[in-house]
């Protein structure tokens, strides 16, 4: 055995895939031009989305290839639309093109909203105060009504007792006088 020599262990596992070589960058551009997402491009290259995302941050040329592919794809579709609208006389393509390229043909409408938040809050505050005042007045009216009913009930009870007393006296008087 070699006691004086150090041995190093070889790394096991998948080999790190190089994504910034010319062949892979050209593939990224082509895949992007076909409308593939970054995740789909990663799968086509045999790496995960997180690997491609990490590498595009590490290597500017990968990010540039992705953007170049997207731009190339949009350019191809725009050219095809233009040819369809002008050469093939496709009315739908013509309308679509004009609506997206000319302000006179646009379906878009701008809407501006101006809100007076101070006024809205002040108005709401006033309604809350009014509601509380109404509740307070309502409570006072209810209490006054209950007090009035209690007083009326007491008066009726008092009248009933007096009437009872008078009736009782009349009956006693009638008995004493020998009347009915």
Ordered mean pLDDT values, 10 residues apiece, the chain (180 residues): 61 81 96 95 95 95 96 92 91 88 77 82 77 70 68 67 61 50
Q: How far apart are CA 118 and CA 52, in angstroms?
A: 51
Q: Give the C-alpha separation, 46 to 127, whole Å.
A: 65
Exposure of 127 in the CB half-sphere (CA atoms within 13 A): 6
pLDDT of residue 98: 85
The rounded distance, in Å, linking the Cα atoms of 8 and 3 is 13
pLDDT value for 69: 96
How far is 139 from 79, CA to CA, in rounded Å? Answer: 76
pLDDT at 25: 96
pTM over 0.75: no
Phi, psi of 18 (to 5 degrees): -90, 125
Q: Where are the domains of the chain?
A: 22-105, 123-165
What confidence score (pLDDT) does residue 118 get? 81
Cα distance between residue 66 and residue 42, in whole Å: 11
What integer pLDDT is reported at residue 168 of this predicted model? 55
- Residue-wise pLDDT tens digits, 51-99: 999 999 999 999 999 999 999 999 999 899 999 999 999 999 988 888 8
pLDDT at 127 (0 to 100): 79
């Amino acid at each position: 055995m070699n006691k004086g020599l150090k041995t190093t262990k070889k790394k096991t596992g998948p080999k790190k895939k190089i994504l910034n070589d010319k062949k892979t960058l050209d593939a990224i551009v082509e895949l992007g031009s076909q409308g593939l997402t970054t995740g789909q491009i990663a799968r086509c290259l045999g790496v995960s989305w997180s690997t491609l995302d990490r590498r595009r941050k590490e290597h500017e040329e990968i990010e540039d290839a992705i953007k170049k592919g997207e731009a190339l794809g949009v350019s191809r579709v725009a050219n095809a639309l233009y040819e369809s609208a002008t050469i093939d006389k496709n009315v739908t393509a013509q309308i679509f093109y004009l609506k997206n390229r000319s302000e006179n043909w646009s379906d878009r409408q701008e809407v501006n909203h101006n809100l007076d938040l101070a006024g809205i809050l002040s108005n709401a505050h006033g309604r809350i105060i009014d509601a509380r005042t109404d509740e307070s007045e309502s409570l006072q009216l209810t209490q006054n009504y209950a007090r009035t009913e209690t007083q009326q009930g007491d008066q009726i009870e008092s009248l009933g007792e007096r009437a009872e007393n008078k009736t009782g006296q009349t009956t006693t008087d009638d008995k004493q006088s020998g009347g009915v």
